[in-house]
């Protein structure tokens, strides 16, 4: 069973063939979660002046001491093979005049190594191609509009999941479960992530007793388009890709002064440095803009068609106007701990993509390393499952989802509380944190959890937010994307990962058993 249908879930499911797979996806297949919104591209050292060693080196430098060199080397070395596989599957990467993949530059990469498709539509092109392939595969059964409510654990092994479609719950057995549920941006008011990315996979793994780590490391993309609050309501902020700065765009404030002058790396400094610099300007009452008029001007719409449309929808013409920008929660470096095969601490459970903490990103992810990590680990996890699982003899029983009586009404939405949670995460667990803000938020979240009678999505969001906040409070230093106003320097004593004890969030024991096929759920 693969839960999640972004690039990580789809590649895992496709590479599991000939094993039968149940692919569980919250929306319709092809929506693609955060992958479909990925603009910049996918990093791979395929240029003539590049090699995997340089890519690994840049990845580790961005990760500020917490990246795992073996994982960085693995991913960089396998990247070219992954690109070959994706091209063979039909992903239409943009080409240069000589018919080679067109390569762009993004922050903190020492070479042009970002492949892209449709200019700035890389994620959407990937999802279209992979989803079509999954539909045609013959080995993948789809459970669309369906989510995993809990993992089923038997004798210490993950043995399936309790699936929900609408008001219907069904336990479904599986020899191997792969979580590919994405990130946590939806826990923040200012995020570039689609709604629904709130750490559901983290909640599933934690509740089953799996190890999570480094949850304090949340990456804030420096250049979300700063749409006025009244116009955006609770919607995510559209992104203005880092590739715009790779093509020469610059950050200026409302006085026209450069934002990044004096910061090593300038406009192409690592993402955490740029986000902090913009935040500092905003705290000083300035507005910040991404100005691509000189660098791209009339070429902007051809190179960045999707971003042009997003800007124009917000009333901004990027050809003739600077784009107002601000940092927004974008990517979670922390996640479910895995080894180099994507195995979690729980037998029977693998995690791939953003929900996983493989060790690649350390404290700060290098731009465009997320899609390549998702693809490499999807392929690795699938290979591991193929080699270690006995052939599956159980039918998927996905049909039972439609056949069952509606017996579990969805929990009522509590939008006001959720809006408050997201606002508090922005304020206290955002680009810059301190003890007072973190402690106050932790107390508020704990109170909410302890008084909440329901055990639905809100409670799970609170649990995930609690774990992130507690981890941020515990790490008394600044490193990578985790910036503490009260501990502004990196502390060599903290040059280590931080595991989260799932016991802190596990709810009162709820018996989970795999029902044999034909049984009705309890
Ligand atoms: C971007 O295009 O700036 C985002 C890509 C990424 O998050 O790696």
Any ligand 1 atom below 6 A from CB of 40: yes
Count of positions (residues) in the chain = 522
Cα 82 from Cα 74, distance rounded (Å): 12
Ligand 1 atom closest to 43 (CA): 8
Confidence of residue 230 (pLDDT cuts 50, 70, 90): low
Instruction: Look up the CATH number of the domain holding residue 317.
Output: 3.90.700.10
Check whether 511 has a pLDDT greater than 70. no
Q: Does residue 376 share a domain with residue 491?
A: no
- Among protein residues, the one whose CA lies closest to atom 2 of ligand 1: 40
Any ligand 1 atom below 6 A from CB of 104: no
Q: Does residue 261 share a domain with residue 232?
A: yes
Domain around 262: 221-328
Q: Beta strand 288-291 with 250-253: parallel, antiparallel or unpaired?
A: antiparallel
Tokens of 387: 């080699």
Confidence of residue 512 (pLDDT cuts 50, 70, 90): very low
Distance 324 CA to ligand 1 centre (A): 17
Ligand 1 atom closest to 223 (CA): 3
Check whether 189 has a pLDDT greater than 60. yes
Over range 454-466, report the average pLDDT.
Answer: 90
Percent of the chain with pLDDT over 90: 82
Output the CA torsion sign for 19, 25, 30, 36: negative
Report yes or no on 518 lying in a domain.
no
Q: Does residue 9 share a domain with residue 120?
A: yes
Cβ contact 79:376 at 8 Å: yes
Over range 413-439, report the average pLDDT.
Answer: 92
Q: Does residue 37 share a domain with residue 186?
A: yes
Distance 158 CA to ligand 1 centre (A): 33
Distance 368 CA to ligand 1 centre (A): 5
The region, left, alpha or beta by phi > 0 then psi within -120 to 50, assigned to residue 199 is left
What pLDDT sits at residue 39? Answer: 85
Q: Does residue 230 share a domain with residue 208?
A: no
334-365 confidence digits (pLDDT tens): 999 999 999 999 999 999 999 999 999 999 99
Instruction: Look up the CATH number of the domain holding residue 173.
Output: 3.50.50.60
Angle at the Cα of 114 (from 113 to 117), degrees rounded to 5? 140
Q: Does residue 249 share a domain with residue 195?
A: no
What pLDDT sits at residue 193? Answer: 94
Confidence of residue 451 (pLDDT cuts 50, 70, 90): confident
Reduced to 3 states (helix: H, G, I; strand: E, B; else coil), residue 317 is: coil
For the chain, the first-to-last Cα distance in angstroms comes to: 21
Confidence of residue 110 (pLDDT cuts 50, 70, 90): very high
- Among protein residues, the one whose CA lies closest to atom 8 of ligand 1: 368
Helix 7-15, helix 369-388: angle, nearest 10: 30
What pLDDT sits at residue 388? Answer: 85
Check whether 456 has a pLDDT greater than 90. no
Distance 321 CA to ligand 1 centre (A): 22
259-304 confidence digits (pLDDT tens): 999 999 999 999 999 999 999 999 999 999 999 999 999 999 999 9
Over range 90-109, report the average pLDDT.
Answer: 94
Number of domains in the chain: 3
Distance 393 CA to ligand 1 centre (A): 41
Q: Does residue 173 share a domain with residue 34?
A: yes
Ligand 1 atom closest to 271 (CA): 3
Active site residue 165: no
Confidence of residue 33 (pLDDT cuts 50, 70, 90): confident
Report yes or no on 252 lying in a domain.
yes
Strands ordered across the beta sheet of 147-154: 147-154, 157-165, 168-173
Q: Does residue 198 share a domain with residue 230?
A: no
**Which residues, at least 6 apart from 100, have a Cβ–Cβ distance to it below 8 Å?**
none
Instruction: Look up the CATH number of the domain holding residue 450.
Output: 1.20.58.100
Q: Does residue 415 share a domain with residue 376?
A: no
Q: Does residue 318 share a domain with residue 211?
A: no
Output the CA torsion sign for 462, 192, 365, 208: positive
Q: Does residue 317 share a domain with residue 342?
A: no
- Mean pLDDT, the chain, as a whole number? 90
Choice among 128, 165, 271, 276 that is catalytic: 271
* Cα 129 from chain centre: 20
Confidence of residue 32 (pLDDT cuts 50, 70, 90): low
Ligand 1 atom closest to 366 (CA): 8
Report yes or no on 201 lying in a domain.
yes
Beta-carbon neighbour count of residue 381 at 10 Å? 29
- Residue carrying structure tokens 């040059």: 495
Any ligand 1 atom below 6 A from CB of 241: yes
Over range 371-381, report the average pLDDT.
Answer: 98
* Cα 513 from chain centre: 30
As separate numbers, helices (DSSP H) first and strands (DSSP E) second, the chain gives: 15, 19
Ligand 1 atom closest to 331 (CA): 7
Check whether 504 has a pLDDT greater than 60. no
Q: Which of 162, 107, 226 is nearest to 400 (CA)?
A: 162
- Among protein residues, the one whose CA lies closest to atom 1 of ligand 1: 241
What pLDDT sits at residue 362? Answer: 97
Report yes or no on 442 lying in a domain.
yes
Distance 274 CA to ligand 1 centre (A): 13
Check whether 385 has a pLDDT greater than 80. yes
Any ligand 1 atom below 6 A from CB of 367: yes
Which of 55, 121, 221 is the pocket-test mutation for ligand 1 (most atoms within 8 Å of CB)? 221
HSE-CB at 18 with a 13 A cutoff on CA atoms is 1
Report yes or no on 277 lying in a domain.
yes
Ligand 1 atom closest to 330 (CA): 7
236 or 2: which leads in pLDDT: 2
Cβ contact 352:377 at 8 Å: yes
Distance 41 CA to ligand 1 centre (A): 7
What pLDDT sits at residue 368? Answer: 95
Which of 241, 246, 268, 369 is the pocket-test mutation for ligand 1 (most atoms within 8 Å of CB)? 241
Cβ contact 114:43 at 8 Å: yes
Report yes or no on 486 lying in a domain.
yes
What pLDDT sits at residue 305? Answer: 94
Any ligand 1 atom below 6 A from CB of 122: no
pTM: 0.92
Q: Does residue 372 share a domain with residue 317?
A: no
Cα 329 from Cα 34, distance rounded (Å): 12
Report yes or no on 512 lying in a domain.
no
**Last residue of some domain: 287, 303, 328?**
328
Check whether 235 has a pLDDT greater than 90. no
**Which residues, at least 6 apart from 139, have a Cβ–Cβ distance to it below 8 Å?**
16, 17, 18, 19, 20, 21
Any ligand 1 atom below 6 A from CB of 368: yes
Report yes or no on 506 lying in a domain.
no
Q: Beta strand 288-291 with 349-351: parallel, antiparallel or unpaired?
A: unpaired
Distance 434 CA to ligand 1 centre (A): 27
Which of 39, 105, 303 is the pocket-test mutation for ligand 1 (most atoms within 8 Å of CB)? 39
Over range 390-402, report the average pLDDT.
Answer: 45
For 302, list phi and psi in degrees, rounded to 5. -75, -40
């Amino acid at each position: 069973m693969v839960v999640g249908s972004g690039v990580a879930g789809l590649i895992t499911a496709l590479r599991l063939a000939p094993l039968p797979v149940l692919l569980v996806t919250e929306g319709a297949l092809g929506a693609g979660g955060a992958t479909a919104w990925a603009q910049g591209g996918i990093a791979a050292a395929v240029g003539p002046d590049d090699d995997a060693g340089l890519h690994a080196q840049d990845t580790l430098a961005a990760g500020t001491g917490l990246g795992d060199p073996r994982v960085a080397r693995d991913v960089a070395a396998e990247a070219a093979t992954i690109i070959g596989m994706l091209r063979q599957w039909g992903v239409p990467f943009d080409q240069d005049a000589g018919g080679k993949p067109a390569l762009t530059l993004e922050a903190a990469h020492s070479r042009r190594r970002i492949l892209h498709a449709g200019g700035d539509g890389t994620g959407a092109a990937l999802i279209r191609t992979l989803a079509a392939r999954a539909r045609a595969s013959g080995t993948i059964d789809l459970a669309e509009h369906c989510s995993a409510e809990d993992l089923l654990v038997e004798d210490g092994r993950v043995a399936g999941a309790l699936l929900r479609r609408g008001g219907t719950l069904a336990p479904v057995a599986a020899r191997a479960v792969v979580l590919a549920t994405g990130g946590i941006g939806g826990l923040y008011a200012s995020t570039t992530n689609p709604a629904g990315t709130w750490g559901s996979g983290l909640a599933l793994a934690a509740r089953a007793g799996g190890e999570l780590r480094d949850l304090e490391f949340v990456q804030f993309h420096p250049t979300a388009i700063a749409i006025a609050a009244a116009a955006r309501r609770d919607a995510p902020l559209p992104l203005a890709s880092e590739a715009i700065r790779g093509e020469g765009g610059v950050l200026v404030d409302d006085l026209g002064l450069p934002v990044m002058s004096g910061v090593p790396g300038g406009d192409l400094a690592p993402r955490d440095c740029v986000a902090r610099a913009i935040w500092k300007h905003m705290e000083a009452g300035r507005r910040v803009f991404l100005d691509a008029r000189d660098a791209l001007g009339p070429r902007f719409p051809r190179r960045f068609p999707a971003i042009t449309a997003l800007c124009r929808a917000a009333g901004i013409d990027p050809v003739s106007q600077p784009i107002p920008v601000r940092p927004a929660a974008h990517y979670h470096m922390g996640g479910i701990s895995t080894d180099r095969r994507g195995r979690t601490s729980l037998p029977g459970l693998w995690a791939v993509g953003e929900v996983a903490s493989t060790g690649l990103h350390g404290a700060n992810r290098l731009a465009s390393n997320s899609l390549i990590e998702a693809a490499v680990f999807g392929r690795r996890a699938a290979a591991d499952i193929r080699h270690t699982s006995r052939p599956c003899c159980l039918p998927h029983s996905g049909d039972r989802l439609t056949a069952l009586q509606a017996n579990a009404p969805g929990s009522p939405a509590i939008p006001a509380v959720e809006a408050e949670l997201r606002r508090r995460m922005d304020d206290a667990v955002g680009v810059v944190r301190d003890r007072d803000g973190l402690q106050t938020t932790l107390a508020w979240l704990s109170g909410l959890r302890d008084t909440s009678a329901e055990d639905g999505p809100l409670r799970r969001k609170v649990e995930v937010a609690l774990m992130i906040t507690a981890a941020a409070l515990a790490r008394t230093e600044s490193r990578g994307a985790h910036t503490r106003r009260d501990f502004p320097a990196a502390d060599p004593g903290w040059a280590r990962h931080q595991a989260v004890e799932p016991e802190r969030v596990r709810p009162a024991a709820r018996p989970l058993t795999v029902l044999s096929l034909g049984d009705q759920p309890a």
